[in-house]
Amino acid sequence: MELGIRGKTALVTGASRGIGRAVAEALAAEGARVFLVARSEDRLRALATSLRERGAEADHLAADLTEPAAAERVLQAARAFGPVELFLGNTGGPPPGRAEELGPEAWSAAFGQLFLPMVRLVRGLLPGMKAGGFGRIVFITSLAVKEPVEDLALSNAIRAGLTGYLKTLSREVAAHGVTVNAVAPGYTKTERVESLFARQAEREGLPLEAIYRRVEERIPAGRLGRPEEVAALAVFLMGTPAAYVTGQTWVADGGHLRFLL
Ligand code: NAD
């Protein structure tokens, strides 16, 4: 399928590793020009260089999106790179915690990490997308928006809020050729998950393989997802053939969730 994104400019946040990186690689492989954002300058520089060596156009900016001023710097640098038509909105997950235990500071910090950066960036990107009559916004959320996960109260609640935002926004901008969707990963083998599992193994005094086995047994596919498998869904949603698909959450979880919809 021709995705029609060759030559289009993409802004990818959380691009230094994991799912964000996989999206950046997949977009570049499809011929998009990619602007990479995350906190780690070294990793971003190495990825941008590697993408250019493979013939792609890529640039980067290291920024911590929890800082209110960072979004404006990102927007300026991305616009200087090209007119952004594709946006992958992604940052790292918040710390674990139970709803009854977390205090206002933790909630505020998680809102500033998962929600506000997306709003700031979208507000900066939308005028250009609307003027050009084309835009694709895809947030990486979590299967937790369909079924809350124990001990992840911050993620469960704030990503549900982001889902309400994207649904509302999608209806406001649909007539301008701009779509807004979310991709919700299930367990996906990234550095974050590997380190979470390692910590869990240590805490429980179990071998690492036992933690993997326990999770894999709950997934009908019998394994964790690969970042590229989540990225493929995001990149499809950014293509021109997905023009009539908007306001939805698309899950990539190996069959983990039992819900019909
Ligand atoms: P990861 O931790 O491996 O990568 C996160 C990326 O976001 C990194 O590039 C990091 O530098 C960047 N980032 C984090 N905080 C940032 C900040 N303040 N400013 C700028 N960049 C920042 O995570 P991942 O496993 O690739 O997951 C991506 C998203 O999907 C996360 O929000 C995660 O919670 C969510 N998710 C992941 C899984 C999974 O199994 N991997 C499952 C459900 C949801």
The token duo for 179 is 């779509």
* CA of residue 65 to ligand 1 center, whole Å: 12
* CA of residue 98 to ligand 1 center, whole Å: 20
For 26, how many CA atoms within 13 A lie in the half-sphere containing its CB? 24
The pLDDT mean for the chain works out to 97
Question: Which mutation among 190, 223, 249, 256 tests ligand 1's pocket best, with the greatest number of atoms within 8 A of CB?
Answer: 190
Query: Could you tell me if 165 and 115 are in contact, meaning their C-beta atoms sit under 8 angstroms apart?
Result: yes
**Whether residue 200 has its Cβ less than 6 Å from ligand 1:** no
pLDDT tens-digit readout, 84-131: 999 999 999 999 999 999 999 999 999 999 999 999 999 999 999 999
Look up the pTM and report it.
0.98
Distance CA 136, CA 127 (A): 13
Distance CA 142, CA 27 (A): 21
Query: Could you tell me if 168 and 201 are in contact, meaning their C-beta atoms sit under 8 angstroms apart?
Result: no
pLDDT tens-digit readout, 161-187: 999 999 999 999 999 999 999 999 999
Question: Which mutation among 11, 17, 19, 196 tests ligand 1's pocket best, with the greatest number of atoms within 8 A of CB?
Answer: 19
Q: Which domains does the chain have, with CATH numbers?
A: 9-186+226-252 (3.40.50.720), 189-224 (no CATH)
At 211, is the secondary structure helix, strand, or coil?
helix
**Whether residue 40 has its Cβ less than 6 Å from ligand 1:** yes
Distance CA 209, CA 178 (A): 44
Torsion (CA) 200, 204, 210, 214 in degrees, nearest 10: -70
**Whether residue 219 has its Cβ less than 6 Å from ligand 1:** no
Distance CA 88, CA 15 (A): 9
Distance CA 63, CA 82 (A): 18
